[in-house]
Amino acid sequence: MEAFELRAGDAIIPVGLRRVAGAKRFTLRVRSATRDVMLTMPRRSSIASAREFAERHVAWIQARFGRLPKPVRFEPGAVVPVRGEGHLIVHRPDQRGAVWIESPADELAPPRLCVAGGAEFVVRRVRDYLRREAARELRLAVGIHATAIAVTVASVGVRDTTSRWGSCSAIGALNFSWRLIMAPPFVLNYLAAHEVAHRVHLDHSARFWALTQRLAPDTDRAEAWLKAHGAELHRYGAD
Ligand SMILES: [Zn+2]
Q: Tens digits of per-residue pLDDT, 76-95?
A: 999 999 999 999 999 999 98
Task: Measure the CA–CA gap between 102 and 131, rounded to whole angstroms.
Answer: 19
User: Range of 54's domain?
Assistant: 3-66
Looking at per-residue pLDDT, the higher value among 51 and 97 belongs to 51
Q: How many angstroms is it from 195 CA to the middle of ligand 1?
A: 6
Average pLDDT of span 42-70:
91
Residue 187 within any structural domain of the chain: yes
Q: How many angstroms is it from 131 CA to the middle of ligand 1?
A: 22
List the 85-92 sheet strands across, edge first.
79-82, 85-92, 112-116, 99-102
First to last CA, the chain: 23
Q: How confident is the model at residue 8 (pLDDT cuts 50, 70, 90)?
A: confident
Q: How many angstroms is it from 96 CA to the middle of ligand 1?
A: 42
Q: How many angstroms is it from 210 CA to the middle of ligand 1?
A: 13
pLDDT of 158 > 90? The answer is: yes
pLDDT attached to residue 80: 96
pLDDT of 213 > 90? The answer is: yes
Q: How confident is the model at residue 193 (pLDDT cuts 50, 70, 90)?
A: very high
Average pLDDT of span 166-174:
94
Q: How confident is the model at residue 34 (pLDDT cuts 50, 70, 90)?
A: confident
Q: How many angstroms is it from 204 CA to the middle of ligand 1?
A: 6
Q: How many angstroms is it from 71 CA to the middle of ligand 1?
A: 28
Query: What are the DSSP calls for 32-84, one per residue?
Result: TTTTEEEEEEETT--HHHHHHHHHHTHHHHHHHHHTSPPPB-S-TT-EEEETT
Among 61-65, 150-154, 206-210, 225-229, which stretch is predicted with the lowest mean pLDDT? Answer: 61-65
Identify whether residues 128 and 20 lie together within a single domain: no
Task: Measure the CA–CA gap between 202 and 200, rounded to whole angstroms.
Answer: 7
Identify whether residues 165 and 228 lie together within a single domain: yes
Task: Measure the CA–CA gap between 105 and 112, rounded to whole angstroms.
Answer: 11
Identify whether residues 37 and 144 lie together within a single domain: no
Average pLDDT of span 168-184:
96
Looking at per-residue pLDDT, the higher value among 96 and 173 belongs to 173
Q: How many angstroms is it from 144 CA to the middle of ligand 1?
A: 18
CA dihedral 225, 228, 232, 234 (to 10 degrees): 70
pLDDT of 18 > 90? The answer is: yes
Identify whether residues 135 and 171 lie together within a single domain: yes
- CATH code for the domain of 206: 3.30.2010.10
Q: How many angstroms is it from 166 CA to the middle of ligand 1?
A: 8
Q: How many angstroms is it from 147 CA to the middle of ligand 1?
A: 19
Residue 143 within any structural domain of the chain: yes
Q: How many angstroms is it from 206 CA to the middle of ligand 1?
A: 12
pLDDT attached to residue 104: 85
pLDDT of 229 > 80? The answer is: yes
pLDDT attached to residue 95: 86
Q: How many angstroms is it from 20 CA to the middle of ligand 1?
A: 25
Q: How many angstroms is it from 87 CA to the middle of ligand 1?
A: 30
68 — phi, psi (to 5°)?
A: -70, 150
Residue 71 within any structural domain of the chain: no
Average pLDDT of span 146-150:
97
pLDDT of 239 > 90? The answer is: no
pLDDT digits 0-9 by tens, 65-79: 888 878 899 999 999
Task: Measure the CA–CA gap between 170 and 129, rounded to whole angstroms.
Answer: 30
Identify whether residues 29 and 118 lie together within a single domain: no
pLDDT attached to residue 108: 83
- Considering its fold, how many domains does the chain have in total? 2
Identify whether residues 152 and 188 lie together within a single domain: yes
Residue 72 within any structural domain of the chain: no
13 membership: H or E segment, kind and range: strand 11-20
Residue 18 within any structural domain of the chain: yes
What is the crossing angle of helices 185-197 and 206-215, to 10°? 140
